[in-house]
A and B are shown apart, each in its own frame.
Chain A
Amino acid sequence: MSQIQTWTLIFIGASFGVYLYIAWRSRVKETAGFYVAGQGIPTVANGAAVAADWMSAASFISMAGLIAFLGSDGTIYLMGWTGGYVLLALLIAPYLRKWGKFTVPEFVGDRYSETVRTVAAVAAIVISFTYVVGQMRGGGIVFSRFLGLDVTGGVIVAAVIIGLYAVLGGMKGITWTQVAQYTVLIVAYLIPAVAVAQQMTGIPVPQVSFGQILDELNTISVQMGLNQYTEAFAARPQIDVFLVTMSLMIGTAGLPHVIVRFYTTKSVRGARYSAFWALFFIALLYTTAPAVGAFTKLNLLQGVNGVSADALPSWVNNWAATGLVTVGDGVTTINSVSNSPTSGADLIVNNDILVLASPEIAGLPAPIVGLVAAGGMAAAMSTAAGLLLVISSSFSHDLYFRRIKRDSTDKQRLLAGRIAMGLAVLVSIYAGINPPAFVAQVVAFAFGLAAASFFPVIVLGIFWKRCNATGAAAGMITGMLFTASYMIYTLQVFGTEANPHILDISPEGIGTIGAIVNFVVTIVVSKMTAPPPAEISEMVENIRYPSERRAVPAGNVTDAA
């Protein structure tokens, strides 16, 4: 066993021990504790839990690598995945917390109708499930590289541990475990980033110092057959960068596993501050990622530029075993690098390895490599757990309780939820081992659908009293059908042909148009049909104010003018 493997085992083993201990300590039996942690989570801790929940294997493992190869257009992930929190904080979180129950489909059901609730519950399950599969796969990759297991073994180990504590602990256990996971993942991300920044620029603040290497990176990128790093719209047309960013933002604000997090705070005020802390914690990683991308890419390019194929640095050989780094056939010296297997470049590097390999590429010691592996696992596990909870609550609450057995007891519902979670784990083990050929597209699918389904009906539900059930159902269904059709048209899924993009709009960006379609249809149909009943207006009115009004000192408030 190599030194790297030993350290990886130590870090992953120790961190798992902590997570399981926390999950066991805070195991719960009542429904409220299971789904919304008894609504008693302190704001800062809740923020850290949202951050861990949100930052998945994609954020931790893939994003910096994607940015390294997209250059300036990596902004779609950076702004897209953070800007959504502004929408969430201002438009959604405080109001849903005031209304506060267990699930997102539940809000939609109470605000509109049972039909809309069922549509929403199915959408929530589909969106969350596609995500879980990606997390299982991410966990599997980490294990296969560092522990010498095959991907199948890695996926099974990850799934068993995630399933165990998700089923036992519910939201309360998950919340505190996620706080621990956030700590592990951010430390694991920042330590190597700070070390690399110090090594390359002498300034240990990656966010500030990566500006110094951009010129050099531009020059060497062009030499190696790539685009200038800081040039905008080299990877995607401007309109598409705009639409994809917007789609990721409103998708973020519409994702059920993120929204449900704001039900766990103590108060409406707590929900607002939770959103702040969440984005603050997320921003620590998201402002570091572009620096990691730039440093690692420069290191990588300098390390291999003009080097002969049999004298490549050791990280190339370590990763070659996983098939994620390949040297072209018959290449003797490396003169070009790409992330695309079809580019014909001398060295092909998969996006997904950059973060995990970054300490190796920079020549940092083995314990740091192990720490990064533990961070990647923390990111994958925390997100998977949050998603499993959404699947479980949507199933038990919005389908089983509402549609199948109305007189079910608390205990039966909890059991139904746990069974749904267990089934989801089993199916995701299968799908993680045999991933559908289009894992990357599936993520776009989930975001586009969240953007085109949940976001408009939730926002209109809060801000427009006149919005009714017919409108919302029509809007959600047309929004989703429109978005899904375009994706199926442009992507190779389920054996369909991939057609060229219309007006430069990629399938990742179509969610924005889908959301607009949803908004327009909802408004038009609502206007054409009868307004919602008075109780609904009253409910909407009530979620707009954090609490009942108490006596206020005279002169403090202007009375109705």
Chain B
Amino acid sequence: MFSPGGSPRTNCQLLYQHIQELTSNDLRKRKTAAERSMIRLGITFNVYGEEEGTERIIPFDILPRIIQGEQWSWISKGLKQRIIALNMFIDDIYNEQKILKDGIIPEHVVKSASSFRPQCVGMKPPNGIWCHITGTDLVRDSDGEFYVLEDNLRCPSGVSYVLQNRQLMKQTFPGLFEAQFVRPVDDYCSQLLDALNSLAPEHVEKPVVAVLSPGIYNSAYFEHSFLAQQMGVDLVEGRDLVVRDRRVYARTTKGLMAVDVIYRRIDDDFIDPHVFRKDSMLGVPGIIDAYRAGNVALANAPGTGIADDKVIYAYVPDMIKYYLSEDAILPNVPTYVCWDDAQRDHVIKNIADMVVKPANESGGYGMLIGPRASKEEHDKFVELIKANPRNYIAQPTLALSRAPVIIDDHLEGRHVDLRPFIIYGRDIYVLPGGLTRVALRKGSLVVNSSQGGGSKDTWVV
């Protein structure tokens, strides 16, 4: 919001003025009102490991983050380029594997990824697209540039908060919306429904679409329910579905109803006990068989997670070059892969300055933030890396940009990141803005809601 000199950036002046006119008491009152309506509306997420049914709101900061239109066009172009290349990569990996044969990515890196699904080799999803819904995490460094921090291609969460945050903001600062050109986000669900409809087998005239959720105890249940509601489709759980003759049906009060397209929010591991984890109670036995037969479309396709692996992430710029003959518009954060001897040595030597992440975790679990960790934690991670080098990547600690946040009755800077959402159906749609996540603890770099992070509305003006 502020330029290095301390004055508000040009595009933030109106907002700055508006906030200046509010007393600190006003600010606090509006913040409380916004949070109260979140509780009243039940905009919550579930916290694992706490008492069953514990729900919390994601703390919401009512100061929006503003991104200039021109900068957004550039980001949006970069995201489209990236998702095209990633989809070509997934399709290649499960079919011809040209990129491996040409030696652009070492074969062992792909085959050793825990998200690589040999069961998906030879699959051909509708229109050749595997990943229909992506949430890509971006960060801004002190140089003002946006970098891709990671790609979330399996079941990316958070878009419901973007849409709800915007609603709350309209209640909180109605005047500002009249004055500013804030790009709307409200058509996300229409875009999503169009994309899902486009996946249905051609002969189906009015496809039956459903959102598949693990159920109300899942941390993202609110989102599953919200998306189904906004699209006007059924929210189903595994126990609602049954496969007969390679076709998926829902159990209804009047018997079985065929389902054509499923936006699944259950991970590969749990979606079909016949194919993946045998002990899973959440999934639908036989659904992958129905998918193979082309009788049901799954978004995102099983196997998509291969491009989600944090080691694979390091190779995305190479993929873009390989498949599109273009340079990546959005750069990666510099990344060291620990399976490589030289890079691993560098990481171990500099561990105190590195952020170390396991290749296959999300939600900020299992990370080391070097500069904030003790000597014992450094040593522990060195051991972990040595024991399983394939599983770790490391990145230098960035000077993540900060945004002002209301703390009690005044403003303080907190680190933020940005998760834009991309839908790949017939066309590619990039939601203008995305979820700005805020590390609420002073100095913290961790923005995940499961780790106490909050959120802000993001305005593209």
Do the two chains belong together in a single complex? no
- Residues of B whose CB lies within 8 Å of any CB of A are none
Interface residues of A (CB under 8 A from B): none
